[in-house]
Amino acid sequence: MAIQWYPGHMNKAKKAIIDRLKSTDVVIEMLDARLPGSSANPLLENLSQHKHKLKILNKQDLADETRTHLWLDFYNSQPNTQAIALDASERAPAQKLIKACRALAPNRSGLDKPLRVLICGIPNVGKSTLINTLLGKKSAKTGNEPGITKAEQRLILADDFWLYDTPGMLWPKIIVQEGGYNLAASGAVGRNALDEEEVALEWLNYVRIYYPQLLVERFRLEVSSQQLDTWQDTDWLDAIAQKRGALLSGGRIDYQKAAEIILTDFRSGAVGRITMETPEQWVVWLKKAKEKEIQLKEERLKKQQMKK
Ligand code: G4P
């Protein structure tokens, strides 16, 4: 089963963002540094094609540092794009953010030409936390100003630097299956949209290959080197369940409980610093997903023609 999630309020945000983009110089997209590709919004990418872009890899404290560098290089090599990594412990994120945006649109400065920046991000990526830190003791200017909707916030970070926060988020169909699982594992997807056991198994299937030592250490498992090579996701799940006492009567394994333990530990960073995708992997997954989409479209068209 692929992860599908499309809360109605996200759809509503699309129009607001299209309107705001008309007078925006730089679009900031906040990404989860543990899953930058999966936490990006493909629709936002389409809508902001000709804009300057700043990618913030947030929650870098939870991500694999080496991979964060790979992702920064990946984004920094794209046209009109800059990328920075951040986390909530950063004491003065405004300086980093303003500097990167100014570098993208150097022609916008001064009171008559303020730099107008839109900040977007999927739920749970840490946008509110960052905005609160940016604001510090200052209060947000909201609504009741010409050109600013009630729900929208305009934060004046410097006299000529305006940051617009449009609440809610557009989220079209998740076409990359691996991305859906990564989003679910990270906690971005509503709980009722996912099967935790399936998500935990997908997560284990990746982590057992790239971070087996972290699994061994976190769950204090005794795994021989032969088992390290041969264990599948289900073997890891069984071993973790046994170790953590996720058992039902008669000693049967409580898979739901084991899955919850694993996902909670990943989300909090207790397993260690893990990044669930490299740029290279993401490009391959995306290509495969797009090919599949085209194939499905063609099949649908054929069926329609047959009916006619
Ligand atoms: P959102 O507005 O994008 O939906 O996200 P929000 O700021 O509410 O952050 C979602 C969760 O992520 C919060 O945890 C927040 O503390 C955490 N978070 C934000 N930035 C960072 C970061 O850079 N590093 C880490 N490790 N965590 C971050 P929560 O458990 O939902 O709430 P709480 O623990 O803050 O009460």
Tell which atom from ligand 1 comes closest to the C-alpha of 131: 7
What is the pLDDT averaged over residues 236-256? 95
For range 55-62, the mean pLDDT: 97
Which has more confidence, 17 or 54? 54
Count of CB atoms situated within 10 Å of the CB of 201 = 19
Band of residue 257 on the pLDDT scale cut at 50, 70, 90:
very high
Q: Which amino acid is at 273?
A: R
Q: The domain that contains 32 carries what CATH number?
A: 3.40.50.300
Residues 202, 159 within the same domain: no
**12 and 146, same domain (yes or no):** yes
* DSSP state string for 6-67: --HHHHHHHHHHHHHHTT-SEEEEEEETTSTTTTS-HHHHHHTTTSEEEEEEE-GGGS-HHH
Percent of the chain beyond pLDDT 70? 89
Report the CATH number at residue 209. 1.10.1580.10
Which of 9, 58, 87, 129 to mutate to test ligand 1, by most ligand atoms within 8 A of the CB atom? 129
Residue 162 banded pLDDT, cuts 50, 70, 90: very high
Name all residues whose Cβ lies below 6 A of ligand 1: 58-59, 61-62, 87-88, 121, 123-129, 269
- Does residue 88 sit in the same domain as residue 211? no
Is residue 289 included in any domain, yes or no?
no
Is 185 a residue whose pLDDT tops 80? Answer: yes
Per-residue pLDDT tens over the stretch 1-34:
566 655 555 666 777 788 889 999 999 999 999 9
User: What is the count of structural domains for the chain?
Assistant: 2
What is the reported pLDDT for 166? 77
Give the pLDDT band (50/70/90) at residue 189. Answer: confident
Question: How many angstroms does the Cα of residue 298 sit away from the middle of ligand 1?
Answer: 41
Residue minimizing CA distance to atom 34 of ligand 1: 268
- The alpha carbon of 145 and the centre of ligand 1 are apart by a number of angstroms equal to 29
